[in-house]
Amino acid sequence: MPIYEYQCTQCGERFEVHQSIGEDGSKLHCPKCQAPNPERVFSSFFSPGPSTSSPPETNPTNPRRSRCGPQYRLDQLSKKKKRK
């Protein structure tokens, strides 16, 4: 069952929910303030390769930043543009 990330439109709380693919989250409420209808947030994911089960490598300048996902790709593109 997939894990979806939501953000409350009232207090900004982010939380995760295990849902079936067909569910839309219309019956959800914020766990912090109980406001209805939180927004689904797009988040990146990590999937280890077939030969490893270790976590992704991290950026040495920021150990919390994963070397996968949209922000990493944007950083790589900006580095390529600076080199040109």
Q: Is the pTM of this model over 0.85?
A: no
CA distance 18 to 54: 23
pLDDT in tens, 3-52: 899 999 999 999 999 988 888 888 999 999 999 999 999 877 666 766 55
What CATH number was assigned to the domain covering residues 1-43?
Answer: 2.20.28
Helix count (H) and strand count (E) of the chain? 1, 5
- Start and end residues for every CATH 2.20.28 domain found in the chain: 1-43
DSSP element (H, E) containing 40? strand 39-41
